[in-house]
Chains A and B, each alone.
Chain A
Amino acid sequence: MVSYTVSHQAYVKMILHSAKYPHKPVNGVLLGKQDGSGQVTIEDAVPLLHNWTSLSPMMEIGLDLAGNYAASKGQQLVGYYQASERVDEVSLAPVGEKICSKIRESFPDAIALVIDGKQVGSESAALMPFVLSSGTSWRPASSSSAPFTAGSSFALASDASPSRVLTLIRETRLHEKFGDFDDHLEDVSIDWLRNEASMDPSP
């Protein structure tokens, strides 16, 4: 059974991205590794777009650059994430399915995480995992226990991440320093692959 762990850094980056553009859809890719027993560690997230998320040219370039960056760190693209501009929308957009299927070509256990706007303000993980069910259709991961609870195959590396990211947004406004590939294309000094300015060393 494949299981997934989301690192603190990856979790923080996804939520910061959605907090920077609350009135727009945002998306990006997940970087990580898989060990011999099937355990996938999502170590980092690279934010891609917020402007025209269903158009492909900049997405293709961003994916390519993010893939190279992952390889340079000994990681690979293991999934995709998105947030909707609507707080109650948690379905995977068709463009997400397309990108996931592309990531799957090099990583068969690829996963999609959709940010659950209603949960962001809570103490629990605001993520909805999607996996390939059949052919090309992606469905919410089904298992006996809800994702990110004890016994499920999805876990956060640190349980403190959800509340920590809220502090970072509300008190230090870290999301304002965060940048994605779209931002970079307007101002090339914006560091979207690493986002060093908005790193949080520990939960």
Chain B
Amino acid sequence: MDLPSALQKLSTFRARNTRASQETFDKGLVVLKGNGLKKLGDESWSFLEQLALAAIDVGRLDIADRCLQLLTDKFPGSPRLDCLHGIRKEVTESPAAVLLYYGKLLQADPVNVALWKRKISVLRRIGRIDEAVAELIELLDTFYTDVEGWLELVDMYCSVHQYISSLQSLSHVLLLAPQNPFHVLRFAETAYTAGDIPLAMKSFLNVIDMADADEDAPAEQVPSGFTIRAWFGIKQCACRLQRERITSPSQTAVPEHVQLFDELATERLKTVYAGRDKSDKEATEVLEWLARV
């Protein structure tokens, strides 16, 4: 692995906030040992932060501590570093000690979002989910536009099976980031899990709409990426709507021609799998499944 390609990849990870810790760590080590810090110039500090986090994730605390030392020498007393030190403490110190550390820092700076989020994540980890939810709601009251925070709340509600609350939090995500189809997909799957099949159906169809609006290509193309997941969802909803008597807690109307949606989803998914190579045994299995359900 050469230095320029490692640097390139790491910068992409930073920009996209990708948590590929093992790869980040391996490439980061090349940079650290290959005298890459000088090449990075001002960027070297965000690189060291990235490597420290990845090293903690893969359990190489020696490297994490080396990065932290370099950063501390450069930025003594930085609040951003306080947070990184906290994450490092989370590995080896007791949750109580870490909560105390975050608590003290938050007393001095009550609106440090990064520290506040760490505290919430520790509370969640040790099972104090009620407190974690309460704190996160308070945080979102202050920082309403924090999409990441809302998604964490969505996930916490989901983990304790409060799907209606999860859907409500997701609505805020949809308001704040309306152009992201993954959030709509998640909304659809949560609605399905909550038993609101008509709402799920509508949301899955929205996902398809968003993908179509996004493409310049002709509409008759083979579905790919997240639209495949959405078509599977539509298929599943259409089957349920035809088989069972279903009510919608959100009073969403059942589409008029459910059977046509069923046929359309089947046709769309068939184009995905029929185009696969004959040696792909899984494609055959999915096609058989489509023919049967």
A and B are interacting partners = yes
Residues in A lying within 8 Å of B, measured CB to CB:
22-23, 52, 54-58, 60-61, 64-65, 68-69, 72, 86, 94, 184-186, 188-189, 191-194
Q: Please state if A188 and B273 are interface contacts (CB–CB under 8 Å).
A: yes
Q: Please state if B125 and A86 are interface contacts (CB–CB under 8 Å).
A: yes
Q: Please state if B193 and A56 are interface contacts (CB–CB under 8 Å).
A: yes
Measured CA separation A143–B283 after assembly (Å): 43
A56 closest partner in B (C-beta): B193
Residue B228 lies at the interface, judged by CB distance under 8 Å to chain A: yes
Contacts of A54 in B (CB 8 A): 158-159, 161, 193
Q: Please state if A188 and B276 are interface contacts (CB–CB under 8 Å).
A: yes
Measured CA separation A52–B158 after assembly (Å): 9
Q: Please state if A192 and B226 are interface contacts (CB–CB under 8 Å).
A: no
The answer, among A69, A94, A186, for a CB contact under 8 Å with B225, is A186
Measured CA separation A186–B227 after assembly (Å): 9
Measured CA separation A52–B188 after assembly (Å): 12
CB neighbors of A among B267-293 (8 A): 272-273, 276, 280-283, 285-286, 288-289, 293
Q: Please state if A57 and B189 are interface contacts (CB–CB under 8 Å).
A: yes
Looking at the assembled complex, report how far the CB atom of A74 sits from the nearest CB atom of chain B, in whole angstroms.
15
Which of B205-213, B229-237, B247-255 lies at the interface with chain A? B229-237
Residue B9 lies at the interface, judged by CB distance under 8 Å to chain A: no
Measured CA separation A64–B159 after assembly (Å): 23
Looking at the assembled complex, report how far the CB atom of A72 sits from the nearest CB atom of chain B, in whole angstroms.
8
Interchain Cβ contacts under 8 Å between A and B, 14 examples: A22-B57, A52-B189, A54-B158, A55-B186, A57-B193, A57-B233, A58-B233, A68-B289, A86-B125, A186-B226, A188-B273, A188-B283, A189-B276, A191-B281
Q: Assess A185 versus B232: contact at CB under 8 Å? Given A52-B189, A58-B189, A94-B161.
A: yes
Q: Please state if B236 and A61 are interface contacts (CB–CB under 8 Å).
A: yes
Measured CA separation A60–B233 after assembly (Å): 10
Residue B190 lies at the interface, judged by CB distance under 8 Å to chain A: yes
Q: Please state if B158 and A55 are interface contacts (CB–CB under 8 Å).
A: yes
Contacts of B193 in A (CB 8 A): 54-57
Residue B200 lies at the interface, judged by CB distance under 8 Å to chain A: yes
Looking at the assembled complex, report how far the CB atom of A140 sits from the nearest CB atom of chain B, in whole angstroms.
18
Contacts of B286 in A (CB 8 A): 65
Q: Assess A56 versus B192: contact at CB under 8 Å? Given A69-B285, A185-B232, A189-B276.
A: yes
Residue B104 lies at the interface, judged by CB distance under 8 Å to chain A: no
CB neighbors of A among B121-139 (8 A): 125
Q: Please state if B293 and A23 are interface contacts (CB–CB under 8 Å).
A: no
Contacts of A191 in B (CB 8 A): 280-282
Residue B60 lies at the interface, judged by CB distance under 8 Å to chain A: no
Residue B19 lies at the interface, judged by CB distance under 8 Å to chain A: yes
A65 closest partner in B (C-beta): B289
Q: Please state if A185 and B228 are interface contacts (CB–CB under 8 Å).
A: yes
Measured CA separation A58–B185 after assembly (Å): 11
Other 9 A-B pairs with CB < 8 A, given A23-B19, A54-B193, A56-B189: A54-B161, A56-B193, A57-B237, A65-B286, A68-B289, A185-B229, A185-B232, A188-B276, A189-B280
Q: Assess A23 versus B57: contact at CB under 8 Å? Given A52-B189, A64-B293, A186-B225.
A: yes
Looking at the assembled complex, report how far the CB atom of A181 sits from the nearest CB atom of chain B, in whole angstroms.
10
Measured CA separation A192–B281 after assembly (Å): 11
Q: Please state if B285 and A58 are interface contacts (CB–CB under 8 Å).
A: no
Contacts of A56 in B (CB 8 A): 189, 192-193
Q: Please state if A55 and B285 are interface contacts (CB–CB under 8 Å).
A: no
Contact with A along B24-58 (1 / 0, CB 8 A): 00000000000000000000000000000000010
Looking at the assembled complex, report how far the CB atom of A101 sits from the nearest CB atom of chain B, in whole angstroms.
15
Q: Please state if A61 and B232 are interface contacts (CB–CB under 8 Å).
A: yes
Interface centre among A54, A64, A192, A194 (most CB of B within 10 A): A54
Measured CA separation A45–B286 after assembly (Å): 18
The answer, among A22, A60, A184, A185, for a CB contact under 8 Å with B236, is A60
B283 closest partner in A (C-beta): A188
Q: Assess A57 versus B192: contact at CB under 8 Å? Given A52-B186, A194-B281.
A: yes
Measured CA separation A186–B237 after assembly (Å): 20
Measured CA separation A15–B236 after assembly (Å): 30
Looking at the assembled complex, report how far the CB atom of B291 sits from the nearest CB atom of chain A, in whole angstroms.
11
Q: Please state if B236 and A57 are interface contacts (CB–CB under 8 Å).
A: yes
Contacts of B189 in A (CB 8 A): 52, 55-58
A121 closest partner in B (C-beta): B59
Contacts of A193 in B (CB 8 A): 281-282, 285
Looking at the assembled complex, report how far the CB atom of A77 sits from the nearest CB atom of chain B, in whole angstroms.
15
Contacts of B285 in A (CB 8 A): 65, 68-69, 72, 193
Contacts of B276 in A (CB 8 A): 188-189
A94 closest partner in B (C-beta): B161
